[in-house]
Amino acid sequence: MRIQVLGTGCPKCKTLMANAEAAVRAAGVEASVEKVDQIADIMKMGVMITPALAVDGVVKSVGKVLSSEDIRKMLVAG
């Protein structure tokens, strides 16, 4: 599983990154968490508002900071 946090480095983006990493640990799933901070790459994914979260290339959340529990539920649900 590949989790991407899309954002340019604002405090909300950093919080979402930390929450995503915590969610992976809590869910016990095999996943990589990566930061996408280049605006061109973010826009290629169709995201205009950050922070955003994508799982396996599919954008799941835009413009808000999901809690680690919300992300964990998303990961275990598939």
Q: Which is catalytic among the residues 1, 8, 10, 25?
A: 10
10 catalytically annotated = yes
Q: Which is catalytic among the residues 13, 17, 66, 75?
A: 13
| 16 CB burial (10 A radius; 0-12, 13-18, 19+) | buried
- Residue carrying the six token digits 């990154």: 17
6 catalytically annotated = no
The 10 Å Cβ neighbour count of residue 14 is 15
Q: Kindly list the catalytic residues.
A: 10, 13
